[in-house]
Amino acid sequence: MMTKGKVVDFASAGEKHRHARDNDDKDAKLDAMRARFEQAFPDKPTPVKDYLKKKRDSKKKR
């Protein structure tokens, strides 16, 4: 038989459960991956076409 003094309420203790910690870790990893992809790929949808157009225009001006 357990007495009231030995029962621990995890919600009031402020501890996170393992599932919540795992989700937080995965979210942190996903945020890091998103940041790396944002740095690797430019915001423009067609950077190559823009570059070639700019190069072609500069040749026409000569």
Is 44 within 8 Å of 50 (Cβ atoms)?
A: yes
Contact 47, 54 (CB under 8 A): no
Q: What is the pLDDT of residue 14?
A: 57
Question: For the whole model, what pTM was predicted?
Answer: 0.42
So what's the pLDDT on residue 38?
83
pLDDT band at 10 (very low <50, low <70, confident <90, very high): low
pLDDT at 4 over 80: no
pLDDT, mean of residues 41-62: 81
pLDDT tens-digit profile of 13-51? Answer: 555 677 788 888 899 999 999 999 888 876 767 778 888
